[in-house]
């Protein structure tokens, strides 16, 4: 364990220039700043020097940076190849020793830390004992600060409150998993209504059936999971998936099978793929194969990804082949701006608008896969809320009557629980303002894509913890959420086979039932009146309404493809990590964002939050 540090200590945070992953460094920098410690993030010259450690001038540049900045704690981040990362640490250590920079040599550096991929961290720990601690990215706030030697008495109030809530949830999750009680949770009988399991079955009918029959101990919301094995042999992969579908149907735990199709299925459906790589997921390539999935999955509901080409015709095929439970579109995404599809942004929006018309005519629900894709590209919390409202507004205008509002929690994974609750409540409040007799919203929360640990036991505890977080969004509404997208606990280390999917559902059901029991008895905090959650929710609602108001004034016909294009092009939805088409959309990438006290905010050149008035395009 590192020695407890003093406020006079200074942290130096560095990475090689080749590694573009800076979010972790920004997160640690913010945590340390909140605790009153001075932090120095290496400039471009030092980052470049890290890549040339065999050169004496590069070593000298790093040593001079350490001494001139008064750095006493040094952290290195490298999230690329594990072997290269371990070798980089070795070269850096030799360079530091050659300049007598370590405290054991009389130098200024008291402690050394490394952050990287799990495999790299294991290699660094075994090969370089001089490194005092490693971070693989799944640590909680208190763990991070504790490993860095920060005394808990130095945590500011905002950090302490977050630590308390998040640690309570994770402790609850560990208890769920350690007791093993979830393994006794059985499947729920969803039958009992006329269309159950038939081609005329709908998610609306199944939700209504659940509500009529009460929540029960292990009943409650519908369970949806994403499944799709990847194999090099296409036919073998499809056959394996069909066997998985049958196994999941027979076990009875899963309500909605979400087909995880390959990139080729989405982008080149029905074509001759030749030797093209599948890109992960099950490589279904004919309407007949989709129909076979529906037959194998009886009586589950079935849904799948939208396409990235010929999107309307694919939606119509899904109706015929799998009687799709609901459709999902990403509007701005899965096109050229993220490298996932062939269309320009405007053409993509036009295709999605046409598809929304088809969805409206079927009477099926629509799920916007929108807001978390903005979050993946560095968008702030206000943009998350605004994009969700815009997507719902467009759907309603196109005649869609039912909206499944997916809410990806833990995104980014450095988000604090209290901030997640505030963002969720703000989004729900604004989207539900669109509800009327012809438009209804169904909440569908889920854990974050990169939230789960590669450690199996911790990942299971995290699944239980995020289930409790879901229930704190509307803690006094037993009908909320009506659906849960269960992310399998193996997300970080392997594909989820049926046994993993089923146990993930068991954990989710046990956690939900137990958390509600504990809340009813007053054993867990009622987050309804949490002051920080209420304050941040009100702030997000106010700021989101300001952005939406500015959009309505600046962009005529905002709900058309042309209007949605202009909203993005004018910079109303900042995406600093946009990977493609940056030159085409300079206003969209104008602002930077950073994790600020567990939330994501737009910041200025000094890293300070920017007011909503100053970031709205003029």
Q: What is the pTM of this model?
A: 0.89
Q: Tens of pLDDT along 365-416?
A: 999 999 999 999 999 999 999 999 999 999 999 999 999 999 999 998 889 9
**603 DSSP β-pair partners:** 592, 609
* CA–CA separation, 354 and 566 (whole Å): 18
pLDDT at 158: 67
Helix boundaries (H) for 381-416 = 381-397
- pLDDT at res. 164: 87
| Per-residue confidence (pLDDT) for residue 114, from 0 to 100 | 95
pLDDT value, residue 280? 80
Please report which helix (H) or strand (E) contains residue 539, including its range: helix 531-554
Helices in 323-363 by DSSP H: which ranges?
345-362
- Residue 36: its pLDDT value, please? 84
The domains of the chain, with CATH numbers, are: 10-155 (3.40.50.280), 533-615 (no CATH)
| Mean pLDDT confidence for 534-553 | 98
pLDDT digits (tens, 9 = 90+) for 465-481: 999 999 999 999 999 99
Find out whether 309 and 342 touch, Cβ atoms under 8 Å.
Answer: yes
Residue 151's closest CA among 4, 367, 37, 319?
Answer: 4
Name which of 43-47, 362-366, 370-374, 601-605 the model is least confident about. 43-47
Q: Return the pLDDT at 20.
A: 59
More confident residue, 315 or 6: 315
3-state DSSP: the chain helix, strand, coil percent, rounded to 5? 50, 15, 40
Contact call for residues 482 and 220 (beta carbons, < 8 A)? no
Dihedral sign, Cα of residue 168, residue 173, residue 178, residue 181: positive
- Tokens 């830390």 belong to which residue? 113
Question: Which pLDDT belongs to residue 254?
Answer: 98
Paired tokens of 189: 């009988």
> How confident is the model over 248-267, as a mean pLDDT?
95
Q: How confident is the model at residue 230 (pLDDT cuts 50, 70, 90)?
A: confident
In angstroms, rounded to a whole number, what is the distance separating the alpha carbons of residues 607 and 585?
Answer: 22
The yes-or-no verdict on residue 216 having pLDDT over 70 is no
**278: which residues sit within 8 A by CB, 6+ positions away?**
230, 232, 234, 237, 262, 263, 264
- Return the HEC string of 407-475: EECCCCCCCCHHHHHHHHHHHHHHHHCCCECCEEEEEEEECCCCCCCCCHHHHHHHHHHHHHHHHCCCC
3-state secondary structure 195-245: CCCCCCCCHHHHHHHHHHCCCCCCCCCEEEEEECCCCCCHHHHHHHHHHHH
Q: If pLDDT is split at 50, 70 and 90, which confidence band does 217 have?
A: very low
Residue 569 pLDDT = 98
Diameter of the chain by CA atoms? Answer: 80
């Amino acid at each position: 364990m590192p020695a407890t540090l003093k406020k006079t200590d200074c942290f130096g945070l560095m990475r090689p220039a080749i590694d573009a992953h800076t979010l972790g460094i920004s997160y640690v920098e913010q945590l340390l700043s909140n605790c009153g410690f001075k932090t120095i993030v290496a400039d471009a010259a030092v980052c470049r020097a890290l890549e040339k450690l065999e050169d004496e001038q590069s070593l000298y540049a790093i040593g001079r940076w350490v001494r001139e900045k008064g750095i006493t704690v040094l952290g290195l981040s490298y999230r690329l190849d594990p072997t290269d990362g371990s070798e980089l640490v070795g070269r850096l250590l030799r360079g530091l020793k050659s300049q007598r920079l370590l405290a054991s040599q009389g130098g200024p550096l008291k402690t050394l830390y490394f952050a990287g991929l799990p495999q790299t961290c294991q290699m660094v720990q075994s090969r370089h004992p001089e490194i005092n601690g490693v971070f693989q990215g799944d640590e909680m706030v208190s763990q991070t600060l504790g490993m860095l030697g920060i005394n808990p008495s130095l945590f500011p109030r905002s950090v302490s409150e977050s630590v308390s809530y998040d640690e309570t949830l994770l402790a609850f999750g560990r208890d769920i998993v350690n007791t093993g009680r979830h393994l006794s949770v059985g499947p729920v009988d969803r039958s009992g209504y006329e269309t159950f399991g038939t081609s005329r079955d709908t998610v609306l009918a199944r939700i209504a059936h659940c509500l009529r029959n009460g929540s029960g101990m292990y009943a409650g919301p519908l369970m949806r999971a994403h499944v799709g094995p990847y194999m090099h042999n296409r036919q073998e992969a499809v056959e394996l998936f069909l066997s998985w579908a049958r196994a999941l149907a027979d076990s009875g735990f899963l309500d909605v099978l979400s087909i995880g199709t390959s990139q080729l299925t989405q982008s080149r459906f029905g074509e001759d793929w030749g030797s093209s790589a599948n890109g992960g997921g099950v490589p279904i390539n004919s309407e007949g194969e989709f129909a076979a999935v529906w037959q194998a999955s009886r009586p589950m509901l079935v849904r799948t990804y939208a396409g990235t080409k010929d999107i309307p015709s694919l939606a119509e095929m899904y109706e015929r082949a799998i009687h799709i439970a609901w459709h999902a579109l990403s509007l701005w995404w899965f096109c050229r701006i993220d490298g996932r599809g062939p269309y320009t942004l405007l053409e993509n929006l036009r295709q999605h608008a046409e598809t929304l018309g088809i969805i409206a005519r079927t009477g099926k629900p629509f799920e916007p896969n929108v807001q978390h894709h903005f979050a993946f590209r560095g968008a702030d919390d206000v943009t998350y809320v605004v994009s969700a409202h815009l997507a719902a507004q467009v759907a309603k205008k196109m005649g869609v009557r039912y909206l499944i509002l997916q809410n990806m929690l833990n995104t980014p994974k450095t988000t604090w629980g209290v901030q997640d609750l505030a963002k969720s409540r703000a989004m729900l409040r604004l989207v539900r303002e669109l509800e009327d007799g012809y438009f209804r919203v169904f909440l569908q929360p889920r854990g974050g894509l990169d939230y789960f640990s590669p450690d199996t036991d911790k990942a299971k505890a995290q699944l239980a913890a995020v289930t409790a977080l879901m229930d704190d969004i509307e803690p006094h509404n037993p009908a909320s959420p009506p659906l849960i997208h269960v992310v399998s606990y193996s997300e970080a280390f392997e594909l989820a086979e049926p046994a993993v999917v089923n146990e993930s559902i068991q954990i989710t059901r046990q956690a939900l039932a137990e958390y509600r029991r504990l809340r009813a008895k007053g054993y867990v905090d009622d987050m309804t009146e949490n002051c920080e959650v209420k304050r941040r929710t009100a702030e997000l609602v106010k700021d989101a309404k300001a952005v939406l108001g500015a959009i309505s004034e600046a962009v005529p016909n905002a709900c058309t493809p042309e209007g949605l294009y202009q909203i993005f092009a004018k910079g109303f939805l900042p995406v600093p990590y946009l990977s493609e088409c940056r030159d085409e959309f300079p206003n969209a990438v104008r602002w930077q964002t950073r994790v600020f006290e567990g939330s994501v905010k737009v910041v200025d050149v000094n890293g300070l939050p920017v007011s909503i008035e100053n970031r709205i395009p003029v």
